[in-house]
Amino acid sequence: MDSILLKAKSLYEALKPSEKKVANYLIQRADDVIHFSITDLAENAGCSEASISRFVRKLGFSKFIDFKISLVKELSLLEDKQNVKNDATGVADLIHHLVQQGVKSYKELSQLVNPLDIEKAADWIAASKHTFLFGVGSSGSIAELGASILVRIGVSCFAYADPHMQVIVVPSCTPEDTVIGVSVSGTIKETIKCVQVAKNVGAKTIAITGGKESPLSKEVDLVLYSSPQGFEAGIGSLGARSSQMAILDMLISTIVWKNETCRNTIEKVEQALVPKRFS
């Protein structure tokens, strides 16, 4: 099957002005499009749903859903090729490639991170009655790992990666809570909905995302930008995952550095874990 992105580029000059808007958005932000309904895409591309329907038919699809499924498959393959070096000469070469991905991610993160924003977010978390982390897919796993570490320093923290549990839990948030949405792309509907509901009830909201000007970044009180690598498809990007976790580590380290109570809690937790270890 021909590449959807290549076909969109090759057909570009023959498209109507409204269809070119769809093509432009697809070419520039394909990783966002896979999460959109036809209505969402029309709104973001600045055209009608009818224009999108005509556009996808010109790409060879009878329905928008068929177009989206094929796009997900295409982007997953592209992402996996970036992460898994199929032309590696051996395992050593593959490992080197992955390490270089991590190095690149951290270098990018050092340019993106704002110490004042990290400190503000850390202060919010430390002062909150409860902190909630929401994410799906690999971002959900990062949220759960971050929450487990925050609990170890004495922060009342909960993470939910199941969209159904997110819907159940988020309405119970209060103005005394902090809610953190974790998303590589910043376009995941479930995560965006969580921060919207939390913000409506007065909770402080934070996004950890690589999606600049993404829907998620526009809904929260504070954005902590991670390295803009990958999207929630395929096996995901090592750079994206490590960048997200690095931001959580920065928040946790700042909280511990500024709070003696947290440092004391760490010591108590360590003592409690001693019997669990083989001597």
pLDDT average per 10 residues of sequence, the chain (279 residues): 79 89 88 85 93 94 90 69 64 82 80 93 98 93 96 96 94 97 88 96 95 86 82 59 92 96 92 84
Task: Give the model's pLDDT for residue 80.
Answer: 47
- Among 62, 86, 73, CA closest to 3: 73
Report, at the CATH architecture level, how domain 97-276 is classified.
3-Layer(aba) Sandwich (3.40)
**Rounded Cα–Cα distance for residues 90 and 105 (Å):** 23
- CATH topology for 4-81? Arc Repressor Mutant, subunit A (1.10.10)
- Quote the pLDDT of residue 212: 76
Rg (CA), the chain: 21
What is d(CA 9, CA 258) in angstroms, rounded to the nearest whole number? 52
b/e sequence 202-211, b meaning 16+ C-beta within 10 Å: ebbbbbbbbb
**Rounded Cα gap, residues 119 and 124, in angstroms:** 9
Distance of CA 260 to the CA centre of its chain: 31
- In this prediction, residue 1 carries a pLDDT of 47
Same fold flag, 4-81 and 97-276 = no
Q: How far apart are CA 51 and CA 57, in angstroms?
A: 10
**Considering the entire predicted model, what is its pTM?**
0.73
Q: Residue ranges of the domains in the chain?
A: 4-81, 97-276
Q: Which residues, listed in sequence order, are joined to residue 159 by a DSSP beta bridge?
A: 133
